[in-house]
Amino acid sequence: MTDRSSGESNSAQASQLRCIGCGVVCAKAEQNFRCADCGDLIEIVYPEWSSTVLDAGTLRTLWRQRRTSGLPVDESGVWRFRELLPSFDWQEIITLREGNTPLYEMPSCARIAGLQQLYAKHQGMNPTGSFKDTGMTLAASAARREGFRWVACASTGNTSASMAAYAARGEMRSLVLIPEGKVSWGKLSQALDYGAVTCQLKTDFDGCMRLLNEVVQRSQVYLLNSVNPYRLEGQKTAAIELMEQFDWQPPDHIIVPGGNLGNSSALGKAFLEMKQLGFISTLPKVSIIQAAGANPLVRMMRENGGNKLISVQAETAASAIRIGSPASWKKAVAVLKATAGAVEQVSEIEIALAKAEIGADGVGCEPASAVTLAGLKKLVKQGFVKSGESVVLILTGHLLKDPEFTLKFHRGDLFSATESEREADILKPQQRAPIVLDATVDAVIQVLRKADDQLET
Ligand code: F0G
């Protein structure tokens, strides 16, 4: 397929759907995006790619030039890199101008972690507040191109918010399956406002996923979870954009939260492809951090070297990554091995503390994103990350996604009546509960003085 509206024809973009298990190439994906022969996941590959067909120098200049263009496909920080994506007719593209997210220096978090240099790539600065938008623009466009009226996902909240928005923009209906009581209000309210049919099921994310897999087999709905390989192709562009922000000099480490393991797989794929095409000369180590209560990847890496999925009953207040049976585990293990990355797990207290520390750098994120800093601290202590190395945390969701967590943290009730209640005392210096006052100038000035004194002591 070519870019008809632009007149561009780029045979290098001819993509194939290939099974990651048996390697069979299929002309059309099954409804559940699994191989009809062996049941493994599908990935998108580009057999025509080579550094002569896709010249890194030419593309770097072209991608930069597009930043001044007013065309929707150029304004999108995903489609700007379209030479490394499956080809779409521009009229088929649904875009909310996703991508183009900031890279922040994190000086105080760097000091806390014991590093000279630390950066955060904030994917929460996407249109619906999470990294999901970068993948959704591709996968929703694919759904519309194939003529689907309905799209669907199981979600811990962010995928559903993103899917609902892109479906609405593309004039499709959307069906959301979420675990009852386990999705933050910020995310749930987004799905409702964007017009999704939202079902809260009395099960967890893994249960929603199992159920949805049967629904898509039995009805004409297009699956938009990250088993859909178009999602990962879009999410790949965060890594390309990051390398552009680093002037194509890769950092030593990338630290990513792990849930269903689509994002780590996507970012890893991008780094490997950029290396293959000569955009970068070294690979950053991609490390994946999970909540200790939702740690299937950590367990399988430690117990069987990543050869066999170990499912767990997931429990964590970082509800975005409350996933016990991750779909993309094989792809993520391949990334860990290819980039020599590490896995680590962090406790609920460590997540809460790291989230407040990221907030104190003026950046902020949702709990699931904060596992990156919490995990990094451990990787530094273990010597896996050295103090002089450059590190990028991938912050996946916006602070406002889960205000309830943040308020509970600052009011000091996040760990009330839990077994971590005592340990939670270490969080006190970070907590700033709102102060209820008489409406007088004196009262406010007194608070100001007291806060100033506390800062000086
Ligand atoms: N961070 C946030 C904020 C997320 O929403 C998710 C996943 C992850 C990290 C983990 O990414 O699954 O690619 O390993 N959220 C999905 C959802 C599962 O339904 O919104 P992953």
pLDDT in tens, 288-317: 999 999 999 999 999 999 999 999 999 999
How far the first Cα of the chain sits from its last, in Å, is 66
Burial of 197 (0-12, 13-18, 19+ CB in 10 A): middle
Which of ligand 1's atoms lies nearest the C-alpha of 124? 3
- What crossing angle do the helices spanning 296-304 and 329-339 adopt, rounded to 10°? 60
Pocket test for ligand 1, best of 101, 125, 128, 130 (most atoms within 8 A of CB): 130
Mean pLDDT of 198-222: 96
Tokens standing for residue 424 = 């939670």
Which of ligand 1's atoms lies nearest the C-alpha of 260? 12
- pLDDT tops 90 at residue 455: no
Q: What is the mean pLDDT of the chain?
A: 95
Mean pLDDT of 155-184: 97
Query: Is 290 touching ligand 1 by the criterion CB < 6 Å?
Result: no
Residues 127-161 have pLDDT tens digits of 999 999 999 999 999 999 999 999 999 999 999 99
What percentage of the chain reaches a pLDDT higher than 70? 97
Query: Is 320 touching ligand 1 by the criterion CB < 6 Å?
Result: yes
Mean pLDDT of 99-117: 98
pLDDT at 3: 38
Query: Is 133 touching ligand 1 by the criterion CB < 6 Å?
Result: no
- pLDDT tops 60 at residue 6: no
Which of ligand 1's atoms lies nearest the C-alpha of 397? 3
Whether the Cβ atoms of residue 153 and residue 256 lie closer than 8 Å to each other: no
Q: How far apart are CA 430 and CA 425, in angstroms?
A: 10
Tokens standing for residue 16 = 């194939």
What are the angstrom distances between the C-alpha of 251 and each of 12, 242, 375, 400, 421?
28, 10, 17, 28, 38
Return the amino acid letter for 303: E
Mean pLDDT of 236-249: 98
Q: Which helix (H) or strand (E) holds 174?
A: strand 173-179
3-state secondary structure of 83: helix
> How many angstroms separate the alpha carbon of residue 70 from the centre of ligand 1?
31
Mean pLDDT of 267-289: 98
pLDDT at 457: 60
Mean pLDDT of 350-368: 98
pLDDT at 4: 37
Bridge partner list, 154: 177
The count of other CB atoms within 10 Å of the CB of residue 322 is: 23
- pLDDT tops 90 at residue 396: yes
- pLDDT tops 90 at residue 101: yes
Query: Is 123 touching ligand 1 by the criterion CB < 6 Å?
Result: no
pLDDT at 51: 79
DSSP per-residue letters across 251-266: -SEEEEE-SSSHHHHH
> How many angstroms separate the alpha carbon of residue 234 from the centre of ligand 1?
15
Matching residue, tokens 């004194």: 453
- pLDDT tops 90 at residue 331: yes
Whether the Cβ atoms of residue 171 and residue 148 lie closer than 8 Å to each other: no
Query: Is 262 touching ligand 1 by the criterion CB < 6 Å?
Result: yes
Q: Are β-strands 42-45 and 253-257 bridged in parallel, bridged antiparallel, or unpaired?
A: unpaired
Q: Give me the numbers of helices (H) and strands (E) for the chain, helices first please.
A: 16, 13
